[in-house]
Amino acid sequence: MSDARRSDKTVPAATPAFPALVLRIGDFLSTLCKQVAGAALVIITLICTLNAGSRYLFNHAFSWAEEAMVYLMILVVFAGSASVTWMGLHLKLDLMLRSLPATAQRVIVVATSVGSAALLVLFATQSQRVVERLWRYNQKSEALGIPMWVPQGIVMVGLYLIALMLMLRLLSRDPLPPPVDYTEEEQAL
């Protein structure tokens, strides 16, 4: 998607120093993550509806429903977090940051982005060790009988993906937060 066609005002345009390829990669991954999260939410809704209907109509609940919905919710959280990170809509406390000079803002944003990515990679590396152990021991879940490395692998991939999105965002955009357009009522507060 070119910057001219971009309708999302929260995502600043690419800096001219970096190729549009980084933006396309980030946009593609973000869109893919949103679609995966959306599909998982639809499946969760279907499972919940079918399970409730089966329980009340036939006095029989699916033994695997809760476990499946928990694993799908893990997928929703990490896929959604990666997309939100790319769009810059993650939670951040930038009230004081906005009062600083532009150079100080850039330094703080770069430092916090690199630090956050480093922590995410550290956590993902630890998660990878857990995934490897679960793979080796071939541990299965109780109700679904799926290998436990699958849901733990979602956590690991999600952490790596969020770190990647942070770095892609840092490389492809001006690190300064976009200006906030306050309404007259908000400015009066």
Sign of CA dihedral 74, 79, 85, 87: negative
Indicate the domain borders of the chain: 20-179
Tens digits of per-residue pLDDT, 17-54?
456 788 889 999 999 999 999 999 999 999 999 999 99
pLDDT of residue 88: 84
Q: By the 8 A CB rule, do 83 and 40 touch?
A: no
pLDDT of residue 180: 62
- The CA distance from 157 to 122, in Å, is 12
User: If you average pLDDT over every residue of the chain, what do you get?
Assistant: 85
- pLDDT of 69 higher than 90: yes
Tens digits of per-residue pLDDT, 71-111?
999 999 999 999 999 988 877 777 788 788 888 888 888 89
Q: By the 8 A CB rule, do 151 and 71 touch?
A: yes
Tens digits of per-residue pLDDT, 4-15?
444 444 454 545
- pLDDT of 187 higher than 70: no
Q: What pLDDT band is residue 185 in, cutting at 50, 70 and 90?
A: low
pLDDT of residue 91: 74
